């Protein structure tokens, strides 16, 4: 039901809803292992500390996937959410900066399972260029624009020092890439049609710090 969204509906969907879809997807993937055939909004909510109403409302933006009196079919709902999130296909990902964080990401197997295939690595360190990481040869950063284009890269992960990140991102944008996952602690400037998500670990630690000095009880739904 409701395969594609029109522009109007699409823009009503909040960032939080999308983030929760990721959580539902993860929870459903867990349940699939079990013998669970169906799951209720109540159970789904409990596993991610949300409210049942929230789960139902989120899903209702995209269609009606459940059966009244029964709940949602686990596998089917998982697949529908995968489709909505666009992870029912392969995404070609390149990673720039094969340092501490970069190496950790290349070795991470879960990304492949979700369709995120890291197919290209870039660095400017002569010792790293040409070396093999999990079957991928590190490319020279000087060929960045050409190789991103030639390889039809769709998502770029930035794992270089903040000082060079903006400069490299300008090239990434030139290569026509529309999605960037950024680990460098700075606000990247990109055109309006390029999507950027930031991974900011310092921010999360600072949040914990704030919570502790203020003895702030964690926010939870009832």
Ligand X SMILES: NC(=O)c1ccc[n+]([C@@H]2O[C@H](COP(=O)([O-])OP(=O)(O)OC[C@H]3O[C@@H](n4cnc5c(N)ncnc54)[C@H](O)[C@@H]3O)[C@@H](O)[C@H]2O)c1
Partner DNA sequence: ATCTTCTTGTGAAGCATTTCACATAGGTTC
Partner DNA sequence: GAACCTATGTGAAATGCTTCACAAGAAGAT
Please state the closest distance from residue 141 (CB atom) to ligand X, in A: 4
String of contacts with ligand X for each residue 165-204, x by CB under 6 A: ---x--------------xxx---------------x---
Please state the closest distance from residue 51 (CB atom) to DNA, in A: 4
Are 141 and 123 in contact by the 8 Å Cβ rule? The answer is yes
Angstrom CA distances, 108 to 117, 131, 161, stand at 11, 18, 21
Q: What is the DSSP letter of 217?
A: P
**Residues with Cβ within 8 Å of residue 90, at least 6 apart in sequence:** 115, 117
Q: Strand 91-96: give its sheet, edge to edge.
A: 132-133, 136-140, 116-123, 91-96, 155-158, 179-182, 195-198
Please state the closest distance from residue 67 (CB atom) to its own copies, in A: 25
SS3 216: coil
Selected range binding its own copies among 4-12, 32-40, 70-78, 163-171, rule: CB under 8 A: 4-12
Q: Which of 173, 127, 124, 131 is nearest to 148 (CA)?
A: 173
Selected range binding ligand X among 24-32, 54-62, 87-95, 118-126, rule: CB under 6 A: 118-126
Helices 15-33 and 74-85, packing angle to 10 deg: 140
Out of 3, 86, 167, 222, the residue judged to bind its own copies by CB under 8 A = 86
Q: Select the binding partner of residue 124 from its own copies, DNA, ligand X, none (C-beta < 5 to 8 A, by kind).
A: ligand X
Selected range binding ligand X among 46-54, 68-76, 91-99, 207-215, rule: CB under 6 A: 91-99
Q: Select the binding partner of residue 222 from DNA, its own copies, ligand X, none (C-beta < 5 to 8 A, by kind).
A: DNA
Are 95 and 103 in contact by the 8 Å Cβ rule? The answer is no
Are 165 and 181 in contact by the 8 Å Cβ rule? The answer is no
Is the Cβ of residue 137 or residue 201 nearer to ligand X in the bound state?
Answer: 201
- Contacts with its own copies by CB under 8 A lie at 5, 10-11, 15, 18-19, 21-23, 25-27, 30, 47-49, 84-87, 91, 100-101, 103-105, 107-108, 110-111, 114-116, 154-155, 178-181, 185-187, 192-197, 199-214, 216-220
């Amino acid at each position: 039901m409701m395969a594609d969204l029109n522009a109007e509906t699409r823009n009503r969907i909040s960032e939080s809803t999308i983030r929760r879809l990721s959580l539902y997807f993860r929870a459903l993937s867990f349940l699939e292992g079990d013998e669970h055939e169906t799951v209720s909004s109540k159970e789904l909510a409990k596993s991610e500390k949300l409210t049942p109403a929230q789960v139902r409302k989120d899903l209702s933006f995209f269609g009606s996937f459940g059966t009244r009196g029964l709940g949602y079919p686990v596998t089917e709902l998982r697949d529908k959410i995968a489709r909505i999130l666009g992870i029912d296909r392969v995404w070609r990902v390149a990673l720039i900066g094969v340092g501490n964080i970069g190496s950790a990401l290349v070795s991470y197997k879960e990304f492949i399972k979700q369709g995120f295939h890291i197919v290209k690595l870039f660095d400017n360190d002569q010792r790293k260029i040409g070396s093999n990481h999990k079957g991928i040869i590190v490319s020279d950063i000087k060929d960045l624009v050409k190789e991103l284009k030639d390889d039809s890269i769709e998502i770029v992960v930035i794992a270089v020092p903040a000082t060079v990140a903006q400069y490299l991102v300008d090239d990434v944008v030139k290569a026509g890439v529309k999605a960037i996952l950024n680990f460098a602690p700075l606000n990247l400037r990109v055109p309006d049609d390029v999507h950027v998500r930031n991974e900011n670990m310092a921010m999360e630690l600072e949040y914990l710090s704030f919570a502790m000095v203020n003895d702030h009880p964690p926010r939870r739904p009832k």
